């Protein structure tokens, strides 16, 4: 068995590590152990990383296939984690070997009961150590009558260094990519990951810009508790982000209570589609905010009002900042106009306003609200409001 361990560790530290393929790595790892005589039925390799939205990811192997999963912070607070083998090994810093026979439903974790109900007979959980000092976990279950032997467990322990070596760089990349996407959005995070990181490095493109802003937020902040302000912002941002992303856009940044989003246009054939998507996203924001306000009313809290400005045009997409601190953003006259059009929503008494550059491509969704002066522009501009009940 130890010869098999040496060969597997070598593969993991060379071919596996270079592959960057978690499914391929875990599939090869488990298949090799099975060939060496370890009677595996189900293997779960769980890895933690630092991220404000996700706390872990992992790979589950069974003889029927291998799949990758993510774990949110919310899930870590549920009974799915509390009392589990993963919690045990991380808290106690030692492996866990547990028979799945004669379990006590009043004391044993639900995962053990589920494995036993599916024919599991024995279970083993152990730690993986990464080079940065972080610790992760892996679990192994079997269905054979006699369970895991000491030799089986010794082999599993012997091949952990190779498994850690192969999966650690994948975890680091996933963590970095996830953090970039969380703070920069999908498009900018991909650009930064692909090397667009130099100061003043930028590209020019056509896009629909959506600028949304809460009305009366300064007065709201002065009269509400700090907790309610944060709760209100979280709810509002959730509505905007979901609405934009579900309609093909990308949220670039939060600016106080404002949100800057873009719908990039890669070719003239996409213009009409992207304009329409931005309008549908604005419509979704209004619908989502109505639901949020319903919940707030039930809690005795005031309603939130939003203003949204839409404009299409050429923008510069890239890095600005100092030598030690950069910000990935969109700049240009089209962005400024979108912001200023949003500023007209209260005066025009319409929650969503767009310029003709957007409205003419989705005429069934907009109606003219007349010509208006827009700060920074010499001539008045025709402004369009979102039709009620448009679809």
pLDDT tens digits for 276-315?
999 999 999 999 999 999 999 999 888 899 999 999 999 8
Which of the four pLDDT bands, split at 50, 70 and 90, describes residue 24?
very high
Q: Mean per-residue pLDDT for 105-117?
A: 93
Identify the CA nearest to 286 among candidates 258, 307, 255.
Answer: 307
Could you tell me which residues come within 8 angstroms of residue 247 by beta carbon, excluding any fewer than 6 positions away? 263, 277, 278, 280, 281, 284
Q: Lowest mean pLDDT: which of 169-173, 250-254, 262-266, 318-322?
A: 318-322
Q: Flag whether pLDDT at 74 surpasses 70.
A: no
User: What pLDDT is attached to residue 197?
Assistant: 57
CA distance to 62, 152, 354, per residue, from 382 (Å): 61, 75, 9
Which stretches of the chain are DSSP H helices? 2-11, 17-19, 22-35, 73-76, 85-92, 110-117, 150-158, 160-184, 186-193, 217-223, 226-246, 271-298, 333-342, 345-348, 356-359
């Amino acid at each position: 068995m130890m010869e098999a361990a040496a060969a597997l560790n070598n593969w993991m530290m060379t071919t596996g590590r270079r592959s960057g393929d978690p499914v391929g790595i875990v599939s090869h790892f488990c298949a090799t152990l099975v060939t060496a005589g370890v009677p595996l039925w189900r293997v779960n390799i769980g890895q933690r990383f630092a991220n404000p939205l996700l706390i872990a990811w992992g790979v589950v192997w069974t003889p029927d296939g291998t799949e990758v999963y993510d774990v949110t912070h919310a899930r870590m607070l549920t009974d799915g984690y509390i009392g589990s083998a993963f919690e045990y090994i991380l808290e106690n810093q030692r492996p866990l070997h547990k028979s799945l026979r004669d379990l006590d439903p009043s004391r044993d974790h639900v995962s053990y009961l589920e494995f036993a109900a599916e024919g599991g007979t024995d279970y083993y959980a152990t730690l993986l150590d990464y080079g940065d000092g972080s610790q992760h976990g892996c679990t192994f279950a079997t269905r054979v009558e006699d369970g895991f032997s000491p030799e089986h467990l010794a082999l599993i322990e012997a091949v952990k260094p190779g498994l850690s070596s192969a999966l650690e760089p994948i975890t680091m990349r996933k963590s970095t990519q996830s953090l970039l996407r969380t703070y920069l959005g999908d498009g900018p995070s991909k650009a930064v990951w692909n090397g667009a990181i130099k100061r003043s490095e930028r590209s020019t493109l056509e896009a629909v810009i959506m600028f949304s802003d809460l009305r009366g937020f300064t007065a709201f902040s002065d009269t509400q508790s700090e907790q309610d302000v944060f709760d209100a912002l979280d709810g509002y941002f959730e509505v905007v982000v979901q609405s934009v992303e579900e309609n093909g856009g990308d949220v670039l940044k939060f600016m106080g209570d404002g949100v800057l989003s873009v719908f990039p246009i890669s070719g003239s054939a996409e213009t009409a589609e992207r304009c329409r998507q931005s309008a549908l996203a604005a419509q979704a924001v209004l619908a989502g905010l109505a639901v949020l306000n319903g919940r707030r009313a039930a809690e005795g809290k005031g309603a939130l009002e939003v203003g949204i400005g839409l404009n299409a045009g050429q923008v510069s997409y890239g890095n600005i900042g100092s030598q030690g601190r950069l910000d990935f953003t969109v700049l240009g006259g089209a962005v400024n106009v979108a912001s200023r059009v949003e500023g007209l929503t209260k005066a025009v008494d319409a929650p969503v306003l767009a310029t003709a550059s957007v409205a003419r491509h989705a005429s069934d969704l907009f109606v003219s609200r007349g010509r208006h002066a827009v700060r920074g522009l010499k001539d008045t501009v025709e402004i369009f409001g979102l039709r009620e009940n448009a679809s």
